[in-house]
Every structure is written in C-alpha cells, then in structure tokens.
Amino acid sequence: MKRFRSWQNSLSKEQILGMRLVLSSCLVLMVMLFQFRWITHSVAQTTQASMLEIKKTEITNTVKNIVCTLDAEKQDYMAKYTDVTNEQVKEHLYQCLRRWIYSSSFEDGAYPWVKELLSFEGGDNYARRLIHPGEPETEGMYLSTDKDDGNGYYLYREELEELKENGWVYHEYLFKKLNSDEVTKKIAYTQLYSDYNWMISMGVHIDDLDVYVEEARTRILPYAIEGILILEGILIAGYILLYRLQRDQYRIGEQLLKNQVESDHLTGAGSRRYGDSLIQVYYHMFRKRKKNILVMMADIDYFKKVNDTYGHEIGDVALQRFSAAIQSSLRAQDKLIRWGGDEFVCMFEYDSHMNVSGIGDKLLAAIHGIQIETERGVVRLTSSMGFTIFHETDNSVEDIMKRVDNALYEAKKQGRNRYVIDI
C-alpha cells in the first residue's frame, strides 16, 4: 500500500489526468461495445419479427389463392362437362392441385401441402396425407390426433380444433426441412377447403429468415463502427450520438422494410405488389362473406404529352400531385395503389347505398385543382376513371380488373375528363 501511494505521489497532474482519460475511454468503450451488441440484437429481432409477419401474409395469401383457383377451376370444369360426377370433379381438382404444387417454387424453402380430413371427431385415421413435397414418400399415410410430435405437442389435435371453429389456423411446430434431415421450428397457415374437406397448408421454417437478419446487421454495421469511433473520441457527446444512431437505425430499418413491401417510392401510394395481395384478400372476403368493394381505376389524360412536352421531371411531379389529390379525397380505410405508370387503382369498402357518382365527382374536382408551374407555362391535369364492384359471376380477380379497365377505356372513348360506372 505504501509503495502504491509513493508511486501515486510521484505522478504529475497531467499523468493522472491522462490515466483518468484512458480509464474513462476504456469504460466508455466497454459501454459502447455493449450498446453495439444491444443495437444489433434489437435490429435483428425487429427484422425477424417484420419478415415473419411478411412471410405469414405471403403464405396466407398463397393458400387463399389456391382455394380461389380451385373454386374457379371447379366452375370451369363443371360448365364444360355438365354430366360429370362429384367424384370425377374431385379427382380432376386433385390432379390439378398436385400438378400445380409440384411445379411451383417458392422463396425461403416454403411449399404447400394438402391433407384430406376424414373425420371431424379426430382419433386414429382422422386424415390422410394427399400431397407433400417435403415428404413425398408419406403421401397416402393416415394420420392421428392422438399422436404427439415427440415433445408432448399434439399438432393435429390443435389444428383440427381450430379448423372446426374458424376454418383456418396458424400454428408453430417442429418439422424436417425440405430436402434435409434438419428439424427446426416452422410456422404454417392451414385453411379448410370445405367442398372436399381438404386441409390446404403452407409454411416456412423460421430460421430460414436468418438471411434477412444478417442482411440487416450488415447494413447497420458501418454506422455502428462510425458511432463507436466518434464516441471514443468525444466520450459523453459520443455516447449521445450512439443513442441517436440506435434510435434512428431502428426507425429507418423498420420503415425501410415496410416501404419496400407496401409503398411506391415516388407517389407515396401503395405498391403494385401490395395492391395485388390486397385485392386477392378482398376477393376472398367477397366469396366467403359477401363483403364487396368498389374498385376505381384512373389515369392522367394525355400523360405522355405532358412527359414529351415538359420533361420527365415534370411528369414525376404530375404523378405526385395526382396521387396527393386523390388521397386527399379518400377516407382512412380507402386504399390507393399505383398500378403502373400513370395508372392508379383505388379500393373502397362498398355498400348498396354508396353514392359512386358523388365519389367520382369529388375525385375529378380534386384533380381539376392541380396546377404545376413550369418555365413553359402552367400544366393542368384531368383524369379518366372507371368504377366497378365484384360480381357473383367473377371467377377471379382478373375478371374485376378487366371490367374496371374496360370502364376506364370507355371513359376515354367518351372524351376523357370523366368517369364510367359499371355496377
């Protein structure tokens, strides 16, 4: 102790201050390293959660699209062959479904599979595996709700109870990966196709989403290193900077993931990918619950002339103003999608008392108010629009989109700057 005090007394104030700075720097560095690990862990968790929700939406939409495709194929087949038996229709749909599943490919190791429900009471032989690309050798095998997964979880029992109550179910369980013996946790969506009691499922292994997590970590790595260097140099000020970096990276990462999937970067409207998924969901709701929507398709009259005369920069401004004018006239629950080019689609919740003409007049008035100042004068916009709803005769989303496109074309034929309603 005496030797330590003697050594301490022999140091100058500058040396003591330097040692304190070194110790403080080491302490701050340790704190920052801890913060760096915490940031990357938080971003990884957020990214995985966001991607998991995106994948849940994708597998859900895929299964619903399969169901819609089966309904459409059934109607076409029965219309073409009026004297077929129900068993012949069932066999035809089975072969179509099997061919489609085995010929399709999906991202992240996902794939659909099908079971046939034989008894709603469960027990042994309650279902039979019809189609399973992951384990084709088990097709035809009978299943039991009384058998667990080896870890005390009765997957088929839980699945059956949810299907009986809701007609669909999400569930997590352990299962072997496609073309591998590795067993990991999987999340799946199953929907009952009640016409033939087929349980149509699709799932994805959760650890297959790790590539997106690593991509997010790689994306923030340069920012985190820069933050550590700055914080090490200016100590407390640097710590504040790292805190802001953490907060901003979290928000930017979350918003980036959402925008990449849902938003058009130029106009702020929904993306075509988001619109395709959304209208498929609306179509499914119409088929199952008779809940209809009003679909509007609009474009800018003589938009090519605007581009050719004033340049693409003014054309981009026109698209932005056009989108903003429409959005200013919508309700919170209405959805605007940039369908492509200068073509936009809007989806409204519909009921028989809706004043469609009033909506069309309001939108046209909002667009008439657009004025874009340029060096060559003021650019004013008009629009042609078509309106329609789902019809009972629609076999797919393509039918309503073709009808609303025809209504838009008819508005152009009649002189533009107007709307045509086909309800």
User: What would the pLDDT profile of 319-357 be if each residue is shown by its tens digit?
Assistant: 999 999 999 999 999 999 999 999 999 999 998 889 999
Sign of CA dihedral 40, 46, 50, 51: positive
Which tokens in the block code for residue 217? 């970590």
Burial class (CB in 10 A: 0-12, 13-18, 19+), 17: exposed
Give dist(CA 347, CA 339) in Å, integer: 12
Per residue in 265-312, pLDDT (tens digit) is: 999 999 999 999 999 999 999 999 889 999 999 999 999 999 999 999
Range in 1-10, 127-136, 216-225, 391-400 with the lowest mean pLDDT? 1-10
39 or 270: which carries more pLDDT confidence?
Answer: 270
Residue with the larger pLDDT of the pair 108 and 61: 61
Q: Could you tell me what percent of the chain has a pLDDT over 90?
A: 54
Strand order in the sheet with 293-300: 335-340, 343-349, 293-300, 383-389, 419-422
What letters, b where the CB count within 10 A reaches 16 and e where it falls short, cover 361-400? eebbebbeebebeeeeeebebebbbbbbbbeeebbebebb
Q: What is the DSSP string of 184-251?
A: EEEEEEEEEETTTTEEEEEEEEGGGGHHHHHHHHHHHHHHHHHHHHHHHHHTHHHHHHHHHHHHHHHH
Distance CA 281, CA 296 (A): 17
Longest dimension (CA), the chain: 108
Is residue 159 within 8 Å of 172, Cβ to Cβ?
no
Cα–Cα distances (Å) from 417 to 246, 251, 365, in that order, read 50, 41, 10
Please report which confidence band the pLDDT of residue 176 belongs to, taking 50, 70 and 90 as the band edges.
confident
Q: What is the predicted pLDDT for the residue at 323?
A: 97
Read off the pLDDT of each residue in 10-34 and give the average, rounded to a whole number: 61
133 or 53: which leads in pLDDT: 133
Confidence of residue 382 (pLDDT cuts 50, 70, 90): very high
Q: Please report, to the nearest 10 degrees, the dihedral formed by the alpha carbons of residues 4, 10, 12, 18 taken in order.
A: -30
Query: What is residue 257's predicted lDDT score, i.e. its pLDDT?
Result: 44
pLDDT for res 201? 93
pLDDT at 42 over 80: no
**pTM value > 0.75:** no
Q: 113-152, pLDDT tens digit by residue?
A: 999 999 999 999 999 999 998 888 999 999 999 988 777 8
pLDDT recorded at residue 386: 97
Mean of pLDDT values over 160-167: 90
Alpha carbon dihedral 153, 155, 156, 160, in 10-degree steps, equals 110
- Which helix or strand (DSSP H or E) is residue 371 part of? strand 371-374
48-62, 240-254, 334-348, 394-408: lowest mean pLDDT where?
240-254
CATH of the domain spanning 26-262? 3.30.450.20
Band (pLDDT 50/70/90 cuts) for residue 7 is very low
Q: Is 213 left (phi over 0), alpha (psi -120 to 50) or beta?
A: alpha
pLDDT band at 243 (very low <50, low <70, confident <90, very high): very low
Least confident span in 52-66, 104-118, 226-240, 257-271:
226-240
- Rounded to whole angstroms, the Cα distance separating 168 from 413 reads 46
Task: Provide CATH 3.30.450.20 ranges for the chain.
Answer: 26-262
Among 178, 149, 172, residue whose Cα is nearest residue 55: 172
Q: Which residue has the higher pLDDT, 363 or 55?
A: 363
Q: Which of 220, 213, 228 is nearest to 34 (CA)?
A: 228
Q: Are 367 and 387 in contact (CB under 8 A)?
A: no
Give the pair of three-digit tokens for residue 218: 């790689």
Lowest-confidence range among 165-179, 242-256, 269-283? 242-256
Burial class (CB in 10 A: 0-12, 13-18, 19+), 64: buried
Q: Residue 252: pLDDT above 50?
A: no
Q: How confident is the model at residue 238 (pLDDT cuts 50, 70, 90)?
A: low
Protein fold of 272-422 = Alpha-Beta Plaits (3.30.70)
Instruction: Encode pLDDT of 181-198 as tens digits.
Output: 777 778 889 999 999 999
